[in-house]
Structure 1
């Protein structure tokens, strides 16, 4: 069983900022999101609170300011989310997901060479 918490789509937006700008304050997160979402500061603070409860993040207190930092590794979260997605959408069949991706996306020669190399390495 993984110790990676289940993170909602909105919480992912907060986590991306915290992973990128570690540590950061709630006001920094709010300011960063101003152009890309219509979330009110209260919404952002609620999402931060949910992430704290899930033990995805923690904080250091300096005076009256809280500096948030991640408790979970970004790559591990992505890996866990990928597994969950493949299980949920493709019944665990990564091959079907990969085939669907390849058929529906324009791949460059470089992309194809990279995929071949990765598959050869897995043999």
Structure 2
């Protein structure tokens, strides 16, 4: 999957929330969250179509936009890119760095332990 910029990610979040969506609906939603003008949003939508992340389907005088990849797939791809860029692909180094540098509550530690135990028992 091609990299999605932070701005494109915001567009995708809107579309994943309620697909399919018209450009006008995407613009309306993003106008509540950003100060982008409609032309900027149209440009971002076109880029996502070009990247193969969105599908544009013409219906009468307008287009409906459908995600071609799930949010989960994008999160996985972004996570992999982040790991490779910052931690040479090592999940262990990332977790170690996170735990050393962050103040975790007892509740967060318990949650991490439960996640690890459930992964171990599989």
Quote the offset at 1:62 in angstroms.
1.9
Structure 1 residue ranges without an equivalent (≥5): none
Superposition deviation, residue 71 in structure 1: 0.4
Secondary structure of the residue that 1:68 maps to in structure 2?
A: strand
Does residue 121 of the first structure (1) align with residue 114 of the second (2)?
Answer: no
Residue in structure 1 matched with residue 16 of structure 2 by the alignment: 19
User: What residue number does 1:50 align with?
Assistant: 47
Q: State which of 35, 56, 69 in structure 1 corresponds to 2:66.
A: 69
Give unpaired runs (5+ residues) of structure 2: none
Query: In the alignment, what sits opposite 2:81?
Result: 84
In the TM superposition, what is the alpha-carbon distance from 1:12 to its structure 2 partner?
A: 0.5
After superposition, the C-alpha distances for 1:11-42 in whole angstroms (9 at most, x for unaligned) are 10111111112011111111111132221111
Moved over 4 A (4+): none
* Superposed CA offset, 1:46-82 (max 9, x none): 1100111111011222211211010011101101110
Counterpart secondary structure, 1:22? coil
Corresponding position of 2:108:
111
Normalised by the length of structure 2, the TM-score is 0.88
The 1-side partners of 2:99 and 2:13 are apart by 27
The structure with more helix, counted as a fraction of residues: 2
TM-score, scaled relative to structure 1: 0.87
Q: Root-mean-square deviation (CA), in Å?
A: 1.5
1:33 to 30, 33, 43: 30
